[in-house]
Structure formats: C-alpha cells, structure tokens
Amino acid sequence: MEQFHGVGVTPGRVVGPVLQMPAPVAEPVPGPVPGQDAVVEAERIRSASKAVQAALKDRAAAAAGEARGVLEATALMAADPMLVKGAVKLLDPSAEGGARSAERAVWESGAAVAAKLESLGGYMAERAADVLDVRARIVAELRGLPAPGIPDSPTPFVLAAHDLAPADTATLDPARVLALVTSGGGPQSHTAILARALGLPAVVAAPGVDTIPDGTPVYVDGAAGTVRTGPGQPERDAAAAWAAQAAALAGGFTGANRLADGHPVPLLANVATGKDAAAAAAAGAEGVGLLRTEFCFLDRPTEPTHDEQVTAYSAVFAEFAGKKVVIRTLDAGADKPLPFLTNTDEPNPALGVRGYRTDTTTPGVLARQLAAIAHAARDNHAEVWVMAPMIATAEEAAHFTALAKEAGLPTAGVMVEVPSAALTAEHILAHADFASLGTNDLTQYAMAADRMLGPLAHLNDPWQPAVLHLIKATCDGAHTAATTTGTPKPVGVCGEAPADPALAAVLVGLGVTTLSMTPRALTAVNKVLATITLPQAQELARLALAAPTAQHARDTTRNHLPILTTLGL
C-alpha cells in the first residue's frame, strides 16, 4: 500500500482503478523538408486549426457554465493568428533553418507563443498550457489521429494526471470518471474549479499520482486530500457509505436556509449562463450571488452588442423572478484576456489592468455593459444588484457606484478581492451598497501566491488565518459603515470558500450575510448550518481567527461540527 498526499478540493470517498491521461502527442521530427508545396501545407495548417476550433466549439455547446466558457476560450486559441501565422512562416524555404513540415511548423510556433506567455508570469503563464494543448490537437489533426483527451473506458475509473488542460477538464463525465487526482495544479486552478462544479471528488498537487500504473485500485479521499493504493475492506466500506450519503444529499435543499435559531443566511448560486441559472433554480438556490458576465465576451474578438448582452443577462434574470441576482461586471484581464480590451504584453497581468481597471484604459465598455444590464433588468422581474471586480480604493467605489446609478441600477456594490479593499471596507462602503468577497483572488493576493501553481497550494487556502482576518475586517467595516450611514451594508461571499460546509459556518460567524457557491454544494451547506446557532457560528469564527495555521483552523472547526462526520463530509 502506498499513500500520496495533496490538497483536497472536492469532498468524496471512492474506490476504483486508475487510468492515466495518455502521453502527449509526440514531437514532430525537426529539420528542413525540401521540395514541399508551402501553399498546400499552409492550407493544411489553416484547415486543421479550423477543424480543432470547430471540435472544441462542439464540445463547448455540450458543456455548461464555466466549462463552456473555458472551452470557448480554448477554441479561440485554435485559430489564434499568432499561432497560425507563425506556423505558416516556418513553411517558407527562406525561413531560418529551412522549410519545416506542417506538423513541425505548428509545433515550433506553439512553443514560441507559449514561451511568450510564460515570460509574462502569473495568469498569462497559466494560459501557456492552453496553447500547448491546442498545438497538440492541431498536430494530431494533421496526422489524422484522434485528438488527445480523457481515456475511453467501458467501466468507471479514477483519472490521474500531472494536470489537465481546461478543454479536457471541462468535459469530464462524472458517469465515467469517479474521481480526479493530479500531481500538479492548485486548489484554484481550472482543474479544481471545474471538478467542484461537476461534483467530482478531487485531489490536486499530490506528487507521484501521475506514476501510478493503469488499472491499479486506489482509494481517494477528496476531503482529506489523500490517495491510497491497494484499498482494503475499510476503505471500500467508507466509499460505499459515501455513495449512499451522496445520494441522500442530492436535491435535498428546499430553498430557505436558516441556522438552528432561525437566523437566515440565504444560499445563492454562482452561474454564468441561462442554462446554469435554470440548474441553480432547480437545485433550490435562493438567488444568484455571482453572475459571471465575461463568458458573454470571451468567445469573440469584438465587444458584444447591446442587444446580445441584454439577451444573455435576461436568460439568467428570467430564472429568478422576484429574487436577488448579483451580476459582476466584466472581469477581463489576467487569465481572461480580451483582444479588444486588455494588453497581453503586461509583465504581471495578475497585478495589472484587469476588472474595473480596464475602464481607465478603454473607457466606454463598462458604461455600455451597465446600460445593457439595466435594460435587461427593466425587462425582467429579478432584483438586480451590480458589482465591480478589482476595486481597491474608496475613490474607485464611488466612481463605479455613480456609473451604475446613472445607468439606472439602484443597488451597486464592489468585489473585495484586494487586501486594501478589506482593510478600508468602512470607507469603500460609505459609497457602495454592499460588498461581495471573492475569496479566490483575495487569498492569492493576501498570500502573494499564484492560485494556479501547485507548489503554492498550501498558501492558496481560504482557511489561512490572514485571509480570515481580512474577511473579518470587511464585515467589521461594513457594520461601521451601516451604523454611520444608517443603511444596511450586506457582505456576501462568492468565491470557492462557501462550498466547504465547515468554512461556511465560520464565514457566518465572521459576519457574512449571504453565501454563494456551486449549486452542487447547496444541500450539504444547508444541512450543516441548520445544526448551529448564530452564537455557535461566532464561536467557531473566534476559534478559527485564533488559529496559528490554516490546518489548525480547519481541524478545530471540524472537531466542533460532528455533523460533518455524520454526513461523510
């Protein structure tokens, strides 16, 4: 028996055989190819890139939510002018080193584009993996081979890999893949986020799991972050108990979350499309705590029209008539570059012009988006709140709030993702009507740790005491601002943190008023919160704040919540 330790990102206990992701597409032979027809080979490259793009778009059409947005963005890369034009140039006999084969030209051009992205660091470096994924798919298409991807198996299996490309992760089939384990990646990588959305037990940043031989039976504990080979009867019993409990938890939320003493804490959903919203409403979500609008923009080289935006937003609003829908304005930049809005040459995009800041370099896009949101709000009956990402100062909060209200949106707030916003929440909320904590970014900025990097996974943990103190500072600032202004200043959380039922209890104790999460987490969070009173939640928060480490905070909280063991969480 061998055990591997990583970061658990989705709870669950399963036993099954491992299948490793296939080896990457073999590198084409280097060297010049004399006498080839460069025009014919160029057309082959263009046709292959279009075929790959079409295949990825088809997969995107069958996906939903974040999966769809990731696939559409990857599809755009398949027709990236930098990649295709670079490859075509290498077909020319006058190119340095002579004319390459079409496969080799694509290979070298992809390497050059990926190297440029890696040199930018941060989120842009993470996009390099997407380029290399597209490169492999185009080469496979040129060779007439199947595209690389998830292994095919008639029986369910545990998928193991170093890491997965977004295009692969986005199409994981929970009916075939029992769990996901990787040696690389981080707790906020695309792999982890999409695994949560699919409800797949997952462990990331577990060195060595990518060397487990195919067919080896393993036991995966997504809560503990462990993978064990040679499972015995106790592990199989634990997996069976989890399966039974998971079935009991499915669809058990009635849409009215309250603590044991009757204190209401609405449970909302994170969505990106009308299809997502329909699924969230069916799962009992009491509203939408985060409507990500960037997926309306990502699959195109130009800004969507007013009518296109109104249609996209209305599809979500229509599913939550009479309920709150919090919509985030365009969060472009960093890992979501847009050709008409962002500068891909920034040396550090994660700290660059992203989110609200794009209004300073490309004014007009934000105002037009607010106008479209207001139009969709007028045409529907949802209670629409709007918020801006990457707000760092009170001045920015005042400016955004004024823009929103000029557009006819009466409730305007801010995302708290930057530590400065948490520390000055009192002043920011003197202008804004509410705050929503984006714990993914708040954690990476507080800990100076790129959320995509596996080696920094231990830092990218929302249980980090520093992050909990920033959340408390935000809630305290909101309370002071409410007292000063005489109007409530609610604080929600819409990052990945609320999907952890134990952390959800702590967040309520810190002063958070609403929790937003993937719809799959609603029932578990509801069942746990229903067992504690507000004073008990506040005591859990006090204990977590006093903890010296993230693990100590997590363990202490879990020890005070026996319901987690009962539910197999």
140 close to 146: Cβ distance less than 8 angstroms: yes
Which is nearest to 291 in space by CA: 380, 364, 386, 199? 386
Half-sphere exposure of 469 (CA within 13 A, CB side): 14
Q: Which single residue is written with the structure tokens 């280097």?
A: 30
Radius of gyration of the chain (CA): 24
211 close to 220: Cβ distance less than 8 angstroms: no
Rounded to whole angstroms, what are the CA distances from 5 to 296, 458, 464? 38, 12, 19
Residue 381 annotated as catalytic: no
384 close to 158: Cβ distance less than 8 angstroms: no
Q: Which single residue is written with the structure tokens 């440029």?
A: 116
Q: Which single residue is written with the structure tokens 């009635």?
A: 254
Residue 469 annotated as catalytic: no
Which is nearest to 1 in space by CA: 213, 212, 230, 227? 230
Selecting among 5, 263, 494, 552, the annotated active-site residue is 494
517 close to 267: Cβ distance less than 8 angstroms: yes
Task: Compute, in degrees rounded to 10, the torsion defined by CA atoms 473, 478, 480, 485.
Answer: 160
Selecting among 190, 399, 427, 431, the annotated active-site residue is 190
3-state secondary structure of 259: coil
Length of the chain: 569
In this structure, the strands spanning 13-20 and 514-517 are: unpaired
Tokens of 478: 């909101």
Handedness of CA 188, 189, 193, 195 (dihedral sign): negative
Q: 372 phi and psi, to 5 degrees? A: -70, -40
Half-sphere exposure of 395 (CA within 13 A, CB side): 1
3-state secondary structure of 210: helix
C-alpha span between 318 and 299 (Å, rounded): 23
494 close to 438: Cβ distance less than 8 angstroms: yes
Q: In sequence order, what are the residues at sequence separation of 6 or more whose Cβ sits closer than 8 angstroms to the Cβ of residue 174?
A: 198, 199, 200
218 close to 18: Cβ distance less than 8 angstroms: yes
C-alpha span between 328 and 326 (Å, rounded): 7
Q: Which single residue is written with the structure tokens 């009491």?
A: 286
Tell me which residues are annotated as active site. 190, 494
